[in-house]
Amino acid sequence: MMQIIDKRKYFYVISGVLTLASLVILVLWGLKFGIDFTGGTEMKVKFSQNVPNSAAIYDKLKELNLESLVIKTAGDGMVVVDYRNSNDQTNRDVFGKIKELDDNAVQVSTDFIGSTVSSQLKNSAIEALILAILGIALYIAWAFRKVSRPVSSWKYGLGAITALAHDILITVGVFVILGKFWGVEVGVPFIAALLTILGYSVNDTIVVYDRTRENLLKASAKEDFESIVNRSLNETLARSINTSLTVMLVLFALVIFGGESIRYFSVALLFGVTFGTYSSIYVASAVLVTIYKFQIKKA
Amino acid sequence: MTLRNKLKTKFVLVILLALIAGLVSYPRVVAKIPPVYNALNKLQIKQGLDLQGGFHLEYNVDLSQVEASKRAEALQALQSIIEHRVNAFGVSEPLVFIKKSGANEVLVVELAGVKDINQAKEIIKETPLLEFKETQVDTSTQIPQETLDQMNAQAPAKAAEILKQAQSGADFSQLAKDNSQDSGSKDNGGDLGMVKEGMMVPEFNKALFDPTFKDGTIYPQVVETQYGWHILKKIATTGSGDTLEVHTAHILIAKATQPSLKTNYIDTGLTGKNLKNASVGFSSQALSEPTVNLEFDAEGTKLLADISQRNIGKPLAIFLDGQIIEAPTVKSALTDGRAEISGGFKTVQDAQALVKSLNEGSLPVPIGDPIYEQHVDASLGQASLMSSLKAGAIGLGIVLLFMIAYYRYLGFIASVALLIYTALMVAIFKLSAFTPWGITFTLSGIAGFILSIGMAVDANVLIFERTKEELRRGRDMMAAVDEGFRRAWPSIRDGNYSTILTSIILVWVGTGFVKGFAIILMLGVVVSMFTAIILVKIILKFTLGRWATDRPWLIVRTKDKKEKDKA
C-alpha cells in the first residue's frame, strides 16, 4: 500500500508551489488573449511559390498602420497574419497588399471578430465560468448530501473544490507560459476546455470520496481516519489512473495528429485532465484529512 | 420465457444493433451489393463550414429607421432578399437567418464552398436594386426599305444565272458551295437528304413532287419561297405512295429581310429607394381584378411625373436586381406620386408576388460591414478533417489495445462495445439529418467525439476494477461481474452527471466552436452509458460460462504484480 496521506506534506509543497507560481505569473504576465476576446483578424495565407520572409510582409503592411500586427509562418507555404482591427475594409486592404507580393496567394482562412462580438464573447465566457463553478459546487453538495460521520458533507465539497481550483489554476499557468514564450493565444476554446476539465476532473475525486465514505461506514473502531482515507485511495488508485489514462491517450493522439486548429484546445484538456488526476489522488483526500485534523485540534 | 432465453433475445438484439450501426456508419463493407450500398451511402454526415470550406458572416441589422411594429416584417423581408441573393451562388443549402445577440438583431449568412469571399460579400451587401426603366425601340439596326428592295431586286437575276449554269452541265454541288446562302446545306453541295411530301414550304414542295421533274435533273425554273429563290436538283426517288421520298439538293439565294426589333432599357433614376409602399388593390372598373398600387416619395413623385409624361402608351419596365419582373404600359401622366399596375394579374397571388418583390427592393434595412467573419478554404477544411480523423482512429486503436491488455477478456468485450459505440455515434450523426435536430459535424465536434471515446470506457474501468475486487474477495466469476455492475453504477452516474452539467452550460452560453464540441460530448456521454454498461453486461452474461470460471486468469488479471510477489 502506498503511504499517500502520510506524505501529504510533500504533495502540498509541490501543489502549493505550482498553484502559487501560476497565480503569480498570471498576475505578472497575464494570459495572451486571442481575437475572440480582443477583436481583430487572423488571416491565413498560402503563398504559391517562395514564402516571403516575415520582414518583407511586415514592410508591405506597414503603411496600413495595423495595431499589434503579428506575422507567423505556419509551414506548408502558409503565413498567419494577426492584427487588431475593427472593420472589414482593412481585411481587404491587407490581402490586397499580400497579393502585391504574390499574385497567386490564396486566403485559406480568415477569422474576423468585430469589437461588439468580442466583448459579447468575453461576457459569455465569464458567464459560463461562473455558471460552471456554481453548478459544480451545487452538484458536489448534492452528491455528498448524505452526511456521514465523522466528516460532514461540506468538507468533502471543500476538498473537491480545492482540487478543482488547483487543476484550473495550473492549467491557466501553463497557458500563461505558452503565451509568454511561444505566443500561444487563448480564446473561447480555452474556456470550453477549462469547463470540460471542471466537469471531468471532479469525477475521479467523487470516486475516491465515495470509497472513503463506504469504508468509513464499515471500518472497525481501531482504524483511524487517516489510514481509512489512505486505504480508500489505494483501493481506487487503479481506476483513477485508468479512467484518466484512456482519456489522456486519445488527447495525446489529438495533440500529435489532430491538426493545428484544435491543437491547443487539446493541450489544455490534456494538462487539465493530467493535473485533475494528480489532484484527486494527492490533493483532494489530503485536504479532507487536514480539515479533519484541524477540527480535532480545535475541539 | 426462461432467463437464458431472455438473455439470448437481448444478445441477438445487440448483434442486430451492431450490424445496423456498422452498416449505416460504414457502408463500404457492402460495396459489392450495389443497391444496399447506394441506399446507405446516401446517408452522409453533414459537415460544418470549417470542414467542407465556406464562410460564415454576421452583420448587424440597423433597425433604428424602422417602426417598431414593422420590424419583424422587415427582418423577414431582409432574410428573404439575402436568400434570393445568395441563391445566385448556386451553393447547396445556403443558410440565412436572423439571430438575436444582446439587444441587437444579427443577420447570419453561411455559404459552403464559395471561393471568392470578397465577391460574395459584395453581393450580399449591395442593397437590392429595384429600378424603373424606360423602354426604347432600337431602330439603329434597321435597314432602309429602299436598300432592302434593291438587294432583293437583284436576287432573281442571280438565281436565274445559276440555274442556267446548272442546266448547262456545271457541277451542282460546286455551284452550291460557291453560291448557296443556306448555311446548313451549302457545304454538302446543297444536299438536303431524303424529303417526304409535305415537309417543305408549299412552293418548294409543289416543284419537288412535280411528276415531270425527273431523277437526276435540274428543275427548269427558279422556285420562289418566303426564304428566297431556290434552284432544285432531284437526285433520286424511292418508294411510292406513303413511303415516297425524294433525295434532293438545292441552292438558295436568300431574301433580305428586316432584322427583328430590339428593345433597349434606359435608366430613369427612379429606383426602389423612391418607392414608399407597394400594396395589392382592386381595379375601380372591375372589382374582381387585382391591381398593384405604388406610392412614391417626393423625389419619386417628381421623377414619375416626367417619366410618365414622356412615355404615355409605352411600357415602363420594372427591374429587380437586374432582372425584368414586369413591364406595365403607361396609360396617362402620373403626377400625384401614385401609380396603379393593372390588367396583368390573373389572381390576387400574382399581384401579391409582385408586391413582395417591390417591397423587398425598397426595404430600408442597412446591414453595413460584417461584424464577424469566419472563412475556411475547402482545402484547409479537408486537411483538418483528415488529420482529426487520423487522430481519432489512432486514439481509438490505442484505447482498444490498452483495454484488452489490461482487462483481458473483460477488456475485449469493452472494446467490442467501444466499437459499437463509435459506429452508433456515426450512425446517429448520419440519421439525425432526418430529425429536426440535425447534427452538423465540425472540427470541435470531432474533438468532442474523440474525447468521448476516451471517456466511454471509463464506466468499464470502474466496473471491472470493482469486479476484480469482488473476485479477490473470493466471489465466483458470475457473481463478481454482477456485483461489479451493481456497485460501480452510482459512481458512473455521478461522474457522468458532472460532465453533462458542464456540457449543458457550454451549449447554453456557447456559440459555434463551443456548441459543436459540447453537444457531441454530451451525446457521447449518454450513448456511451448505454454501450459501456448495458451492452457490455448483456454480452458478458451471454458469453461467460464454464470455460470462463475455469480460467479466471483469461477473464481479468486479479492480482497486481506486487501482491503476487508478497503471496
| Location of C-alpha cell 424529303 | B195
| Residue B107 located in a structural domain | yes
| Residue B190 located in a structural domain | yes
Q: Taking 50 as the threshold, does the pLDDT of residue A296 lie above it?
A: yes
Handedness of CA B223, B226, B229, B232 (dihedral sign): negative
pLDDT of B565: 44
Interface contact flag, A254 B450, Cβ < 8 Å:
yes
Of the candidates A121, A125, A161, A126, which has an alpha carbon nearest to the alpha carbon of residue A140? A161
The per-residue DSSP string of A170-231 comes to: HHHHHHHHHHHHH---B-HHHHHHHHHHHHHHHHHHHHHHHHHHHHHHH--TTS-HHHHHHH
Q: Quick one: A19 and A107 in the same domain?
A: no
Interface contact flag, B388 A259, Cβ < 8 Å:
yes
Question: What residues of A are in contact with residue B403 (Cβ under 8 Å)?
Answer: 246
Taking a C-beta distance cutoff of 8 angstroms, is the pair A212, A229 a contact?
A: yes
- Indicate the residue of B104, B377, B451 with minimum beta-carbon distance to A106: B377
Dump pLDDT digits (tens) for A232-285: 999 999 989 999 999 999 999 999 998 788 889 999 999 999 999 999 999 998
CATH number at residue B505: 1.20.1640.10
Dump pLDDT digits (tens) for B143-197: 777 777 877 788 888 888 888 888 888 888 888 888 888 878 888 888 888 888 8
Q: Quick one: A66 and A204 in the same domain?
A: no
| Location of C-alpha cell 452560453 | B509
Q: Quick one: A23 and A88 in the same domain?
A: no
Interface contact flag, A246 B454, Cβ < 8 Å:
yes
Residue B79 sits at the chain A interface (C-beta within 8 Å): no
pLDDT of B16: 93
Select from B348, B375, B402 the last residue of a domain.
Answer: B375
Q: Quick one: A23 and A61 in the same domain?
A: no
| Residue B54 located in a structural domain | no
Strand B46-47, strand B440-441: pairing: parallel
| Residue A287 located in a structural domain | yes
Taking a C-beta distance cutoff of 8 angstroms, is the pair B194, B245 a contact?
A: yes
User: A264 in helix, strand or coil?
Assistant: helix
- Indicate the residue of B121, B369, B491 with minimum beta-carbon distance to A206: B491
Q: Quick one: A59 and A138 in the same domain?
A: no
Q: Quick one: A283 and A259 in the same domain?
A: yes
Select from B327, B362, B397 the last residue of a domain.
Answer: B362
CB atoms under 10 Å from CB of B185, counted, come to 17
Interface of A with B in 156-175 (CB under 8 A): none
CATH number at residue B177: 3.10.50.40
Taking a C-beta distance cutoff of 8 angstroms, is the pair B238, B219 a contact?
A: no
Determine the average pLDDT of the residues in B391-415.
93
Residue A126 sits at the chain B interface (C-beta within 8 Å): no
Q: Quick one: B414 and B533 in the same domain?
A: yes
Q: Which helix (H) or strand (E) is B309 found in, with range?
A: helix B298-310
| Residue A2 located in a structural domain | no
Select from A63, A79, A113 the last residue of a domain.
Answer: A113
| Residue B103 located in a structural domain | yes
Dump pLDDT digits (tens) for B134-146: 887 777 777 777 7
Q: What is the DSSP letter of B10?
A: H
Residue A2 neighbours by CB under 8 Å, 6+ apart: A230, A233, A234, A237
| Residue A199 located in a structural domain | yes
Q: Quick one: A131 and A91 in the same domain?
A: no
Q: Quick one: B233 and B157 in the same domain?
A: yes
Taking a C-beta distance cutoff of 8 angstroms, is the pair A137, A156 a contact?
A: no
Q: The C-alpha cell of A147 is what?
A: 452526511
- Quote the crossing angle between the two packed helices B443-456 and B378-431, to the nearest 10°: 50
| Residue A92 located in a structural domain | yes
Dump pLDDT digits (tens) for A20-74: 999 999 999 999 898 888 888 888 888 887 778 788 888 888 888 888 888 888 7
Distance of alpha carbon A248 from alpha carbon B326, whole angstroms: 66
Question: What residues of A are in contact with residue B398 (Cβ under 8 Å)?
Answer: 249-250, 253
Q: Quick one: B370 and B381 in the same domain?
A: no
Select from A113, A139, A174 the last residue of a domain.
Answer: A113
Distance of alpha carbon A50 from alpha carbon A73, whole angstroms: 12
Q: The C-alpha cell of B240 is what?
A: 411510292
Q: The C-alpha cell of B241 is what?
A: 405512295
pLDDT of B257: 78
Domain holding B33, by residue range, is 3-46+377-559
Least confident range of A87-91, A244-248, B302-306: A87-91
Interface of B with A in 500-559 (CB under 8 A): 500-503, 505-506, 508-514, 517-518, 521
For B190, left (φ over 0), alpha (ψ -120 to 50), or beta? left
Least confident range of A104-118, A233-247, B364-378: B364-378
Q: Quick one: A57 and A193 in the same domain?
A: no
| Residue A165 located in a structural domain | yes
Q: The C-alpha cell of B223 is what?
A: 422556285
Q: What are phi and psi of B374, to 5 degrees?
A: -135, 125
CATH number at residue B307: 3.30.1360.200
Determine the average pLDDT of the residues in B17-30.
87
Q: Quick one: B249 and B215 in the same domain?
A: yes
| Residue A3 located in a structural domain | no
Q: How many CA atoms lie within 13 A of A148 on its CB side?
A: 17
Residue B464 — pLDDT band, cuts 50, 70, 90?
Answer: very high
The residue of chain A nearest to residue B403, with distances taken between CA atoms, is A246
CATH number at residue A267: 1.20.1640.10
Q: Quick one: B501 and B387 in the same domain?
A: yes
Domain holding A45, by residue range, is 40-113
Q: Taking 50 as the threshold, does the pLDDT of residue B567 lie above it?
A: no
Residue B377 sits at the chain A interface (C-beta within 8 Å): yes
Q: Quick one: B419 and B536 in the same domain?
A: yes
Dump pLDDT digits (tens) for B225-235: 888 888 888 88
Top pLDDT among A225 and B453 is at: B453
Q: Quick one: A126 and A209 in the same domain?
A: yes
Question: What residues of A are in contact with residue B58 (Cβ under 8 Å)?
Answer: 117
Peptide bond connecting A150 to the previous residue in cis, omega within 30 degrees of 0: yes
Q: Quick one: A247 and A272 in the same domain?
A: yes
Strand B54-61, strand B104-112: pairing: antiparallel
**How many domains is chain B partitioned into structurally?**
4
Q: Taking 60 as the threshold, does the pLDDT of residue B85 lie above it?
A: yes
Residue B395 sits at the chain A interface (C-beta within 8 Å): yes
Q: Quick one: B282 and B430 in the same domain?
A: no
Of the candidates A212, A120, A121, A136, which has an alpha carbon nearest to the alpha carbon of residue A168? A136
| Residue B488 located in a structural domain | yes
Q: Quick one: A239 and A103 in the same domain?
A: no
Mean pLDDT of chain B: 82
Select from B362, B394, B421 the last residue of a domain.
Answer: B362
Q: Quick one: B371 and B381 in the same domain?
A: no
Q: Quick one: B426 and B534 in the same domain?
A: yes
Q: Quick one: B226 and B185 in the same domain?
A: yes
pLDDT of B438: 83
Strand A78-84, strand A106-113: pairing: unpaired
Distance of alpha carbon A154 from alpha carbon A140, whole angstroms: 9
Q: Which helix (H) or strand (E) is B29 found in, with range?
A: none
Residue B364 — pLDDT band, cuts 50, 70, 90?
Answer: low
Q: Quick one: B441 and B470 in the same domain?
A: yes
Q: The C-alpha cell of A127 is what?
A: 458567464
Q: Quick one: A157 and A257 in the same domain?
A: yes
Distance of alpha carbon A285 from alpha carbon A135, whole angstroms: 22
CATH number at residue A94: 3.30.70.3400
Q: Quick one: B370 and B386 in the same domain?
A: no
Distance of alpha carbon B127 from alpha carbon B440, whole angstroms: 31
Interface contact flag, A259 B384, Cβ < 8 Å:
yes
Question: What residues of A are in contact with residue B371 (Cβ under 8 Å)?
Answer: 114, 116-117
Expressed in angstroms, the distance from the first to the final Cα of chain A is: 31
**How many domains is chain A partitioned into structurally?**
2
Of the candidates B232, B252, B211, which has an alpha carbon nearest to the alpha carbon of residue B167? B232
Question: What residues of A are in contact with residue B506 (Cβ under 8 Å)?
Answer: 128, 192, 195-196
Query: How many contacts, defined by CB atoms under 8 Å, are there between A and B?
Result: 223
Select from A113, A138, A173 the last residue of a domain.
Answer: A113
The residue of chain B nearest to residue A78, with distances taken between CA atoms, is B380
